[in-house]
Structure 1
């Protein structure tokens, strides 16, 4: 198996609300839209972020675990500077996201978080060293 990731698929409660947040609020461009079923957005050179309506997700994948707390996954969007972290968080806030402001972390990076309409947390980060440069566009 090749060492790569092709799709990240997230089950969402309200696909129209999700589309409004990512497309209208954040300004992302959809690659594929099937109303009431799926929204797919290119998230990298060979990476697609796919949002499925919960009913379709459960029909194919299985029952969704529900309960209190934060969804136990984060998605990360890395940028080159702390100022860029803050700017992305401002865009997310203006799109209606719940935002935790950027701050310097003990491990040397600067990060903040926002939650999309379904509570999926996005980490907006700048990472020091080679690993941080590995994920930035040229």
Structure 2
């Protein structure tokens, strides 16, 4: 079996708000857009972010656990320089992202901050100067 992830699929409450945030706010482009059902965005050479309306997600995958707290997942967008972390966070916040934490220098040598999308999914924006950071940059 190949060692890879091809899709990250997230269930979203309001697909129209999600579309507006990712396409209009962040400036990303849809690879597939089926109104009321799914929005797919090519997020890397061989990676698709798939955003499903909750009803369709539950019909295919099963019931969504609901309750207080955060979904136990984060997504990350790595950039080649620390100043780009601040720029991406500013773009996300201008698009309506929930500010979670400003970027700070981390003990492990990186520089990261977080924002929340319309459904509260946490995005880390990171500069990782180590070898693993170089693996994920185009």
Settle same-fold status: TM greater than 0.5: yes
TM-score normalised per structure 1: 0.97
Stretches of structure 2 that go unaligned for 5 or more consecutive residues are none
Q: Is structure 2 residue 4 aligned with structure 1 residue 4?
A: yes
For residues 32-51 of structure 1, the aligned pairs below 5 Å read: 32-51=32-51
Show the counterpart of 1:91: 91
Task: Give the Cα–Cα distance (whole angstroms) in 2 for the partners of residues 5 and 70 of structure 1.
Answer: 22
Show the counterpart of 1:130: 131
Show the counterpart of 2:122: 121
Equivalent residue pairs, number: 137
Task: Give the Cα–Cα distance (whole angstroms) in 1 for the partners of residues 106 and 68 of structure 2.
Answer: 26
Task: Give the Cα–Cα distance (whole angstroms) in 2 for the partners of residues 113 and 95 of structure 1.
Answer: 14
Show the counterpart of 1:14: 14
Q: Deviations over 1:17-74 (max 9, x none)?
A: 0000000000000011111000000000011100000000000100001111111100
Stretches of structure 1 that go unaligned for 5 or more consecutive residues are none
Task: Give the Cα–Cα distance (whole angstroms) in 1 for the partners of residues 134 and 17 of structure 2.
Answer: 33
| Runs of 4+ that moved beyond 6 A | none
Corresponding residue SS for 1:16: helix
TM-score normalised per structure 2: 0.97
Q: How far off is 1:75 after superposition? A: 0.3
